[in-house]
Amino acid sequence: MHVTSLRHGSSSEEHHRTAAFEKVLLVDDHALFAQALAGLIRQEELALSVVTVGTLEDAAEQLVHGTGVDLVLLDLALNGEAGLSLLPRLAGLRNTPPVVIISSSEDESTVRAVRTAGAAGFLAKSAGRAALVRMMQSVRRGQGYFPGGMAPLVSETPLTPRQLEVLTLLAQGFPNKRICQSLGLTEHTVKTHLKAIFTQLGVHNRTECVNRARALGWL
């Protein structure tokens, strides 16, 4: 874990007034990227403190036992883990901070999956300084931040949130075992979810499932 903070001195009160967030939790397993992003957030005075961790377990520990986190920046893919699997684990928190997904994959289906999962925003890792500032200011105002604005999703799905998570990982090419590990489910439960998804879509295999889901705007 690494903590980056603004220096406190004669202007500390000014920093408190102008910083968008008190404490940002940055979850990314690429240390150099995480340190650079934390440094940029500090330079722009977008947060008073940035805590960086590299795993979902460490992130959950910070959110459950730590204090003051009011924004989570979460990598979509964490060393074989699906970043989106953290979102359901936040449901039991008294004060759930907004979660913005950061990813090197910025295709439409990925952004749609992120929005469907309930994230507050999406920021491509290729984005520049100005986009970072706009995102954090927008999320701070409660408006969310996604490429192309905040137009409603084209299609609602009859799937449960958990089934959507399974479908998203399936579309990313995850085999059942990795889906189990990422979502903390048994193989039997994953197979049950896949069967329900296949039934809803009227398909018989994984390729047909992903293609049909994309055609319907579920991905």
pTM: 0.63
- Is the backbone of residue 45 left (phi > 0), alpha (psi -120 to 50) or beta? left
d(CA 210, CA 217): 11
Q: Strand (E) positions, 114-181?
A: 121-124
Instruction: Kindly report the CATH number that applies to the domain delimited by 2-140.
Output: 3.40.50.2300
The length of the chain is: 219
**Residue-by-residue pLDDT tens, the chain, 219 positions:** 666 665 544 444 444 434 579 999 999 999 999 999 999 999 999 999 999 999 888 988 888 887 789 999 999 887 767 777 777 767 666 678 889 999 988 887 788 878 877 788 999 999 999 999 999 998 888 888 888 654 444 456 788 888 988 998 898 889 999 999 988 899 999 999 999 999 999 999 999 998 888 777 777
d(CA 62, CA 51): 9
Which residues are CB-contacts of 81 (< 8 A; sequence separation ≥ 6)? Answer: 55, 56, 181, 182
Q: Where are the domains of the chain?
A: 2-140, 161-215
Which class in CATH covers the domain with range 161-215?
A: mainly alpha
Which has the closest alpha carbon to 109: 126, 125, 90, 122?
Answer: 122
